[in-house]
């Protein structure tokens, strides 16, 4: 029986690479549902190639256009709206949900997938940043399987495989350093979105590319690791590793370190989440360690304040990481639209973290309210 896969965010960077994985292993995987936010033409093209049972376009304004262009494919059901997107993950034949939407919008569909006992392959890190405690509680309560797709977390997960309850002393979370790793404060003052949208080692969607340049992405990954592996943030150390070959590592109580290495290519972590515990072939270039220096540096948290803000947020707990995420989503977009400078991003987020109502033990409703309040306050402060 082929695994039936639902991809939330199939037109994105992760989504399209996941489709490549599925195409390369068509004997094992089949697409059951594809979803996108706005790019209905691309979604229709994917539907013609992969023949899913359903497609969902989140933005209802594109429903007619999408339904029209797929009218000659009556076996593909077409839906629109966020409700439909949240419902589709529950469809009975689906075995695997790949959560590859970007931002807070991924939270509710991911929760619905967990509650429907689907195997969830999680790329959407914002879900764990916002509501990590709730998500991990639900995973336990519903005996769900949650597998990391983020490359660092996949590397940590791969390093932990076979280790049972052996004690983790420390997680070594690697970080390319982004395009501005060697920039001075003055140089950082002048950078524009086009400069930040070029990443030295990874090709990704626009939001995460900016987050990688500010190092907020790494801060998010500290929070993500804290919840996925139940390790306090004090035991998660960020290492700048410009080559992006060591994708992260775990240091155990006997001092032994296990790491996962490979070329920077998201198809491996995506495929591993699909196939775990098995490994499938993947035709990527191989790392040649003879030609590959491996360097590690400490991050500079003065130039890259977002990393400190993320540690502060997880240290404070409650809804603070949710506030951090919402403020970042607004500031990140403002920077992409040339409405604020690169260095202002961290200042804007810090102000929002100081202003939004703190809640030490939030539930889903509190997260939804906090997200809305933090977005409004951040937008007003621009
Ligand atoms: P992207 O911008 O390329 O794609 C986002 C996808 O989500 C698109 O298909 C889009 O249509 C959909 N989407 C966006 N907003 C939506 C909404 N409100 N409702 C419904 N659908 C919506 O992003 P990406 O780079 O593929 O990243 C996706 C997620 O994976 C992010 O959370 C990111 O942090 C994470 N991630 C990405 C990479 C990477 O290499 N790209 C690596 C690790 C983690
Ligand atoms: Mg990552």
Report the percentage of the chain scoring pLDDT > 90: 98
Q: Quick check: helix, strand or coil at residue 48? A: helix
189 and 221 assigned to the same domain = yes
199 and 80 assigned to the same domain = no
143 and 206 assigned to the same domain = no
Whether residue 276 lies inside any domain: the answer is no
Predicted pLDDT at 200: 82
For the whole model, what pTM was predicted?
0.98
Whether residue 380 lies inside any domain: the answer is no
Mean pLDDT of 212-237: 98
Long-range contacts of 17-24 (CB under 8 A, 24+ apart): 17/266, 17/267, 17/270, 18/98, 18/100, 18/270, 19/46, 19/49, 19/50, 20/267, 21/267, 21/270, 21/271, 21/274, 22/50, 23/50, 24/282, 24/283
Q: What does R_g of the chain's alpha carbons equal in angstroms?
A: 20
DSSP 216-253: HHHHHHHHHHHHHTT--GGGEEEEE-TT--EEEEEEET
**154-168: per-residue pLDDT in tens?**
999 999 999 999 999
CATH number at residue 116: 3.40.50.720
Predicted pLDDT at 175: 98
Q: Distance, CA 150 to ligand 2 centroid (Å)? A: 5
Is the distance from CB of 381 to CB of 348 less than 8 angstroms? Answer: yes
Whether residue 77 lies inside any domain: the answer is yes
Residue 4 scores a pLDDT above 90: yes
93 and 169 assigned to the same domain = no
Residue 318 scores a pLDDT above 90: yes
For residue 152, give the ligand nearest its CA. 2
Kindly indicate the confidence band of residue 199, based on its pLDDT and cuts at 50, 70 and 90. Answer: confident
Mean pLDDT of 268-285: 98
Whether residue 19 lies inside any domain: the answer is yes
Give residues (CB < 6 A) around ligand 1: 9-15, 36-37, 39, 58, 85, 100-103, 105, 123-126, 150, 202, 204-205, 207-208, 266
Which of 237, 245, 260 shows the shortest CA–CA distance to 168?
A: 237
170 and 294 assigned to the same domain = yes
**74-122: per-residue pLDDT in tens?**
999 999 999 999 999 999 999 999 999 999 999 999 999 999 999 999 9
Q: Distance, CA 123 to ligand 2 centroid (Å)? A: 9
Kindly indicate the confidence band of residue 48, based on its pLDDT and cuts at 50, 70 and 90. Answer: very high
Q: Quick check: helix, strand or coil at residue 147? A: strand
57 and 189 assigned to the same domain = no
Which residue range is the domain that position 38 belongs to? Answer: 3-148
- Give the atom of ligand 1 at the shortest distance from the alpha carbon of 9: 9
195 and 50 assigned to the same domain = no
Q: Which of 204, 206, 244 to mutate to test the pocket of ligand 1 (most atoms within 8 A of CB)?
A: 204
For residue 110, give the ligand nearest its CA. 1
Kindly indicate the confidence band of residue 222, based on its pLDDT and cuts at 50, 70 and 90. Answer: very high
174 and 141 assigned to the same domain = no
Whether residue 360 lies inside any domain: the answer is no
Whether residue 341 lies inside any domain: the answer is no
List 257's β-bridge partners, or say none. 251
Residue 108 to residue 124: CA distance in whole angstroms: 11
- Give the atom of ligand 1 at the shortest distance from the alpha carbon of 207: 2
| Alpha-carbon distances of 149 from 35, 93, 125, rounded to whole Å | 18, 22, 9
141 and 14 assigned to the same domain = yes
* Domain count for the chain: 2
157 and 306 assigned to the same domain = yes
Whether residue 348 lies inside any domain: the answer is no
Predicted pLDDT at 169: 98
311 and 163 assigned to the same domain = yes
């Amino acid at each position: 029986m082929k695994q039936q896969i639902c991809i939330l965010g199939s037109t994105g960077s992760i989504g399209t690479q996941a489709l490549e994985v599925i195409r390369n292993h068509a004997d094992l995987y089949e697409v059951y549902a594809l979803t996108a936010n706005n790019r209905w033409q691309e979604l229709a093209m994917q539907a013609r190639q992969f023949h899913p049972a359903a497609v969902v376009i989140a933005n209802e304004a594109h429903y007619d256009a999408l339904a029209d262009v797929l009218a000659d494919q009556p076996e593909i059901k077409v839906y629109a709206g966020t409700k439909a997107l949240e419902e589709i993950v529950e469809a009975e034949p689906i075995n695997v949900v790949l959560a590859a939407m970007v931002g807070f919008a991924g939270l509710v569909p991911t929760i619905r997938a967990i509650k429907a006992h689907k195997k969830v392959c999680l790329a959407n890190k914002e879900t764990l940043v916002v509501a990590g405690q709730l998500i991990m509680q639900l995973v336990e309560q519903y005996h769900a399987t949650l597998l990391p797709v983020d490359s660092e977390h996949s590397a940590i997960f791969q390093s932990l495989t076979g280790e049972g309850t052996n004690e983790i002393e420390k997680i070594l979370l690697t970080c390319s350093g982004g395009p501005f790793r060697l920039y001075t404060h003055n140089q950082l003052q002048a950078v524009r979105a086009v400069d930040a949208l070029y990443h030295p080692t990874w090709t990704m969607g626009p939001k995460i590319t900016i987050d990688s340049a500010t190092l907020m992405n790494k801060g998010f990954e500290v929070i993500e690791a804290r919840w996925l592996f139940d390790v306090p943030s004090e035991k998660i150390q960020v290492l700048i590793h410009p080559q992006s070959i060591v994708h992260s590592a775990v240091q155990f109580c006997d001092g032994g370190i296990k790491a996962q290495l490979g070329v920077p290519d998201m198809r491996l972590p995506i495929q591993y989440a699909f196939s775990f515990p098995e490994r499938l072939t993947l035709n990527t270039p191989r790392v040649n360690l003879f030609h590959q220096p491996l360097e590690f540096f400490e991050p500079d948290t003065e130039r890259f304040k977002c990393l400190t803000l993320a540690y502060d947020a997880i240290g404070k707990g409650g809804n603070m990481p949710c506030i951090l995420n919402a403020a970042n989503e607004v500031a990140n977009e403002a920077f992409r639209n040339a409405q604020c400078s690169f260095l202002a991003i961290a200042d804007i987020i810090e102000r929002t973290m100081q202003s939004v109502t703190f809640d030490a033990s939030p539930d889903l409703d509190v997260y939804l309210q906090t997200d809305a309040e933090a977005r409004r306050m951040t937008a007003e402060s621009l």
